[in-house]
Chains A and B, each alone.
Chain A
Amino acid sequence: MSEHKAVLQIKELKEIANLKPYVIVGVPEVGLVGTIVTSYLIRQLAMQEIGYVDSESFPQIMVVHASEPKYPVRMFQHDDIISFHSEIPLAPRASSYLASEIVSYSVAKGARAVIGITGIPSKRRIESSEALQVFAISNTKDMLERAKDAGAEPLEEGMILGSYASLLKHCMAMGIPNLTLLAESFPEFPDPEAALSVIKVLSRMINIDIDTKPLLAESEELRLRLRELMHRTQQSMQEAVKLAPSAYA
C-alpha cells in the first residue's frame, strides 16, 4: 500500500467497510490536546476497539487496562467515526510512519477526511481560560468553510510541527481532505480546557452529540494524572523542535 508498510502496520481486529468515515487522530503533543480529545470521544461515544498499530519504530511499551495487555496505539470506531489514539509520545520518525499509514488506510477506506487534533502554544492562555480560540488548517476550501461555520478560525500564517504536520503532508500527497484543529493551549501542561474547546467545534462539524460537562468536572484530576505523559511528551517533542526554527507558530 505504501512505502512504510514494512516498518509499521495497522491491524484491524474487525473489518471496516463502506463507512466513508471521518478519521480522527489523537497523539500526545502540545498540551496533550489530541489525546485528551480522542480518549474522551472513545469514552463518551462508547467507541468500539477495532484494531491497533504496531511498529518497530515505536518504543518497547505495552499498556495494561483492566488486567488486559494492550498495544499503546489503537483504533476505535463508532458509526462513521474512526479514531486513532496513542497513549505514548512518538519520536519524529515513528510519528511520520504512523501518519503515512493512517493516510493510506483512510484512502483505502474511502474516508471523508482525516482530522488531526492538537494544541497551538498561546501566550495569553495563562491569563485566560475563557473563550479559547480554535484554529483550523485544511487543504480543502470546503473543510475550512465547515470548520469556520463550526466556530474555528482559519489559521492564516504560522506553522505546525510533528505528527500533525506529517498527517497534513501525507493527506496533500494522497489528495484526501485533511483538517487540523489547533486549540490555544499551554504547550507544556496538560490542557483539558483546550480539549473542550476543540470538542465543541468538532461536534458541530461532524454532527455528534457530546456532553462536555464531565470533561470540565474532571479537568483538574486529568491535569494531575497526565503529568507524567506530558513530561515524557515534552522530552520527545524537544527532539522535533530542534529541527524547526521556532516552536511558536
Chain B
Amino acid sequence: MSEEPDIFDEMERRIRSIFEATMADIDEALFDVSSRSLKPLYRIEATDDELIVTFDLPYVQKDDIRIESTEETLSIEARIIKPVRLMSLAKGDVEFEKYAKKIRLPVKVDPAKAKAKFRNGLLTVRFPIHSRGTSVRID
C-alpha cells in the first residue's frame, strides 16, 4: 500500500467538490438568519477572454460594498441602506442588514487583475482569463 495520494482518490474528491458546489447552489436558502444576511442573486458568464460575475444588489450604495478575491473564490459583502424584514416563517422576525456571498469560481483567475463596476444596483466583477495556448500538431 502506498502512502502517496491515489490519483483516483484525488479525481473523486474533485468531482465531489464540483458536484457539491453545484447542488449547494440549487438548494441553498437565499438568506442566513444568524448573520442577518441575504444572499444576492448572481450570474457567472465566461467569454473567450473574460470571466464576468454579476450580482444583483438593490438598496446598496457603492461605498458600502466590499469585494475580496482569491485565485479560486470571489466574496462580496454589502450593507443594505435600511434593514429589511422579509415575511416568512422560516426567516422569523429578523431584520436583514447586508448581502453576503462567497462564490467558488469555475476557473482560476488572477485576483490582482479584477475590475469591478457598480451601476443601477448591479455589481459586475470582471477577471481576464488568459489562455496561453500551445499549438497542437496533427499527426
Contact = CB atoms under 8 A, between A and B. Distances in A.
B54 A221 contact: no
A171 interface: no
B129 interface: no
Given A126-B122, A188-B43, A223 B56 contact: yes
B121 interface: yes
A221 B82 CA distance: 11
Given A126-B124, A221-B59, A235-B26, A227 B38 contact: yes
B86 interface: yes
Contacts, number: 37
Contact of A224 (B26, B54, B58): B58
A220 B80 CA distance: 11
A12 interface: no
A220 B122 contact: no
B41 A231 contact: yes
B41 A188 contact: yes
Contacts of A235: 26
A211 interface: no
B84 interface: yes
B30 interface: yes
B59 A220 contact: yes
B120 interface: yes
Contacts of B56: 186, 189-190, 223, 227
Nearest to B39: A227
A224 B40 CA distance: 9
Interface in A190-249: 190, 219-221, 223-225, 227-228, 230-231, 235
A140 interface: no
Interface in B43-64: 43, 54, 56, 58-59
Contacts of A220: 58-59, 121
Contacts of B54: 126
A227 B28 CA distance: 13
B120 A227 contact: no
Interface of A: 126, 129, 186, 188-190, 219-221, 223-225, 227-228, 230-231, 235
26 contacts: A126-B54, A126-B122, A126-B124, A129-B120, A188-B43, A189-B41, A189-B43, A189-B56, A189-B122, A190-B56, A219-B58, A220-B59, A221-B58, A221-B59, A223-B56, A224-B58, A224-B84, A225-B86, A227-B30, A227-B38, A227-B41, A227-B56, A228-B30, A231-B30, A231-B41, A235-B26
Interface of B: 26, 30, 38, 40-41, 43, 54, 56, 58-59, 80, 84, 86, 120-122, 124
Given A126-B124, A189-B122, 15 more contacts: A126-B54, A129-B120, A188-B43, A189-B41, A189-B43, A220-B58, A220-B121, A221-B58, A223-B56, A223-B121, A224-B58, A224-B80, A225-B86, A227-B41, A228-B30
